[in-house]
Amino acid sequence: MHLQNEKDKIRPVILVTGACGQIGTELVAALRATYGAAHVIASDIHDRGGVGMENYHALNVLDEASLERLVSNSGITQIYHLAAMLSARGEQIPLPGWDLNMKGLLNVLETARKYKLEKVFWPSSIAVFGPASPKASCPQNGQTDPSTVYGISKVAGEFWCRYYNERYGIDVRSIRFPGLIGHSAPAGGGTTDYAVDIFHKALEEGSYTCFLHERTVLPMLYMPDAVRAVLELMDAPRLGLSVKTSYNITGMKFTPSELAREIKQHLKGFTVRYEPDARQQIADSWPWSIDDSAARFDWNWQATYDLKTMVSDMLHHLKMKLKQETGQAHA
């Protein structure tokens, strides 16, 4: 028993904000598998009732006092700050989007400073790039030229993270995520959401209307790779990390038509129509591909899923989920 107590003393006590979102749902599970459920507190703005997570606290990250109280009372040593408004939703309500993305991050950074937390993780995005940024193999230090409120908030957030790192010594680590594809939670209002929605519609309806042009190339990452990237970056020795803003990473790149073609290999009758909307302009401003050599050099980052293996795994998990839901409905 004494040995267990000593072991617990060196384990981090982690708070995950935005835990019910696309990344948070799977990241919380991975963190709990690593550190134990008692060491990982999930939080989101939702009341506990509809969430289905244990060790959960309802939290609005814009309420700095409530955040500090939770950190103090729970002995938090690390924060994974995921709460944010994504690109497409942010364009509909830009000022609330800016407030959530900026004020939420600053509340977390200030809390980390006041309570001397060990580490903070915060996700950035390829939305920091824009029309003037390089389109092919966009480099780590490529020009940031965001065309959305979400992208502007991410550029500003990257420099706030660097500021707190250099000014106060806060160990803040960040990844610029491309489009993310996962099966555990619905997409949350981003421009790359089609790459999640298309799987659900393919299985449930046999057809899909895509809001991007069929030849729109975007960099993507499968959620298991994204979660592993976060864990690997947070576990990497601090001295080896040369990027104090946010690391480029990527997994694959494809067009909506290429994704549809791969899905059709598994679902023969599946059909897709293309009706680009306002999100097309956002997608057109982003790079086609990303150079993530800095991440590969500094902490040995390497994606494992490509288009073929991602599609197969997504369909496998979503078919199982549909089968379970159908069984429960008939019970």
DSSP string, 177-194: E-EEE-SSS---S-TTTH
Choose among 75, 43, 45: nearest CA to 56: 43
Residue 235: Cβ-neighbour burial (10 angstroms; 0-12, 13-18, 19+): exposed
Distances (CA, A) of 70 to 74, 107, 121, 323, 324: 6, 13, 17, 38, 36
> How far is 218 from 227, CA to CA, in rounded Å?
20
Helices (H), the chain: 2-10, 22-35, 64-74, 87-92, 94-98, 104-114, 149-168, 194-204, 223-235, 256-264, 279-285, 293-299, 307-330
Q: Which tokens go with 44? A: 């989101």
DSSP, res 102:
I
120 φ, ψ to 5°?
Answer: -130, 135
**Residue owning tokens 């696309």:** 22
Residue with tokens 């267990």: 4
How many beta carbons lie within 10 A of that of residue 283, not counting itself? 21
β-bridge mates for residue 173, sequence order: 121
d(CA 44, CA 318): 24
**Order of strands, sheet of 179-181, starting from the edge strand that comes earlier in the sequence:** 179-181, 218-222, 252-254
Cα radius of gyration rounded to whole Å, the chain: 20
CB neighbour class for 7 (10 Å; exposed up to 12, middle 13-18, buried from 19): exposed
Q: Is 150 a catalytic residue?
A: yes
Out of 56, 80, 115, 150, the active site residue is: 150
Residues that are catalytic: 150
